[in-house]
Structure 1
Amino acid sequence: MSSEDTGGGAAARYRREEVARAAGVKVRNLRYYQERGLLPPPRREGRIAWYSEDHLVRLRLIDDLLGRGYTVKGISELLAAWEQGGGITQLLGLEREMTRDWVQEEPVTMGLRELRELFGPAATAEDTRRAARLGYVRVDGERVTFPSRRLLDATVTLVRAGVPLAEILDAGEFVQGQAAALADRFVGLFRRHVIGSGGLERLPATRLEHITAAVGALRPVAGEVVAAEFARAMARRVEAEAAALLPRGPAPRPGRVGRAGRTGPTDR
């Protein structure tokens, strides 16, 4: 992938193999989609064909519609109808807004030796295999990549505090399940009340613009809600734990004045 200065920043551009790989389609499909009118031709510089971000978004849309049971002819008619109604730009913008920037992580790559030095005897081969199954690491020969530096830092902190790595992975698997349920709930609310039961077919351009704006607003809100509720829950749980760990004072003796100023049964 390359980039070019468009006057407002760097715009991504792709060679044929790169855009096909990014969209998850076969290279030969690009020419087929162009012949059927589903995909605009690329911009050529000499013998090199450059595809843009809009090409990538449209390819993903085509692939999604094919997966939903649409025929190539049906997709062509649908795209033509959107283009005639002026909604294709908004539709592509919506797809771009819906799929971008949900995950912003800094990956960390290291060798197996560095991994052993980082975790010491706390990490076993089975722990590494399980972490890979959960998506926390990717192992490629002698190289290990952690997709999320934040999760790596949190894991190292817990291990150094004495928490067994196997139990950290247990907690991580539990959190993944809860996060998936939360995502399902948020997406379900958005699907029912913002997009509507009819889906995106034949929606006017103004409605697509409204949905795009709502998607942009949802991204930070969803994370803030989860973070706020987790912080509140942790505060309650830690307070209760601290109260249970602290030593209790002696029980008040009969006849002595209590905290509220009440006297015992011997007072007159």
Structure 2
Amino acid sequence: MAEYRIDELARAAGTSVRNVRVYQDRELLEAPVRRGRAAIYGDGHLSRLRLILNMLDRGYAFAQIREMLDAWRAGHSLGDVLGLEEATGAAWSHEAAEVVPMTDLLRMFGAQLTPANIRRALELGVLERRGAQFVAPSPRLLEAGHELVKLDVPLAEALALAAELQTETDRITGLLIGLVRKYVLDPKGPDWLPSGEELPHYADVITRLHPLVMSALSAAVDRSARRVIPEIMGDRLIALAEKAKKAD
């Protein structure tokens, strides 16, 4: 299970530390675990926070949100509710973030690591600040940018691509999850909530969504790459082959 300090939790949910404290004060968000002077949040907190933000976006007031959460909780054991919330939150925490020293960033991107490019990387979430350090929430995405720069693609262009990729993958992921919601949840009605006996099943459904999305996207990207790379690079490859033939 992932662990978060309050600022990390707020960033992961796309809100502010102030809002997190407000939701705690209104008893919408469970209290964190205390370790000495540190307050530690988990995947369940992240899931609940995202649910609160979703309901606020839909126009619900704090009192209404609390009533619905209390009503749902009253019909289930605490373990059942936490089990479903942990499963929901865990779906966002499969790649471990890594601290990236400035020396490593300079080695990877050299003179292109300008203040403007750093600001853009922070805006996109490719990098995050934690005190005096930088953290890569997705080390694989950062490494992909590094590989593009090694191929002489400007860092600014790689960051623009990262923004476009995020928009497109959000859209495609939404389509995949939308199918599950349409055929698994929506047929039960807009006011349906799982019973205590049903919670483990729906926790399992949610847990399986992340590998499902990853598998589908990976397979689709692989098929696309096999088709598109020859289409785009084919003329250059043919020209190289013809040049080699003439040289013989």
| TM-score (normalised: structure 2) | 0.68
Partner of 1:172: 162
Separation of aligned partners in 1, 2:195 and 2:40: 27
**Aligned equivalent of 2:100, options 96, 109, 112:** 109
Separation of aligned partners in 2, 1:13 and 1:129: 26
CA contact (8 A) 1:57 1:92 kept: no
Partner of 2:21: 26
Cα deviation, residue 179, structure 1: 0.9
Query: What is the root-mean-square deviation of aligned Cα atoms in Å?
Result: 4.3
Separation of aligned partners in 1, 2:221 and 2:3: 40
Cα deviation, residue 141, structure 1: 7.4
Separation of aligned partners in 2, 1:221 and 1:62: 22
Cα deviation, residue 231, structure 1: 0.4
CA contact (8 A) 1:39 1:58 kept: no
| Deviations 1:54-102 (CA, angstroms, capped at 9, x unpaired) | 984796488458735255477347635653x446543332222112142
CA contact (8 A) 2:96 2:137 kept: yes
Q: Match for 1:221: what amino acid?
A: L
Which residues of structure 2 form unaligned runs of 5+? 11-18, 244-248
Structure 1 position 128 matched with structure 2 position 118: yes
Separation of aligned partners in 2, 1:57 and 1:70: 20
Bigger radius of gyration, 1 or 2?
1
**Aligned equivalent of 1:119, options 104, 109, 113:** 109
Cα deviation, residue 221, structure 1: 0.9
More helix by share: 2
Any residues of structure 2 matched to 1:75-114 within 5 Å, and which?
75-76=66-67, 79-80=70-71, 82-83=73-74, 85-86=75-76, 89-103=79-93, 104-111=95-102, 114=104
Partner of 2:16: none
How many aligned residue pairs are there?
Answer: 227
Structure 1 position 229 matched with structure 2 position 220: yes
CA contact (8 A) 1:20 1:27 kept: no
Partner of 2:209: 218
Q: Match for 2:231: what amino acid?
A: A
Distance 1:73 1:51, change over 3 A: farther
Separation of aligned partners in 2, 1:238 and 1:125: 33
**Aligned equivalent of 2:142, options 152, 159, 162:** 152
Distance 1:223 1:81, change over 3 A: closer
CA contact (8 A) 2:3 2:43 kept: no
Cα deviation, residue 122, structure 1: 3.0
Q: Match for 2:21: what amino acid?
A: K
Separation of aligned partners in 1, 2:159 and 2:30: 47
Kindly, what percent of the aligned residue pairs are identical?
Answer: 26
Q: Match for 1:25: what amino acid?
A: V
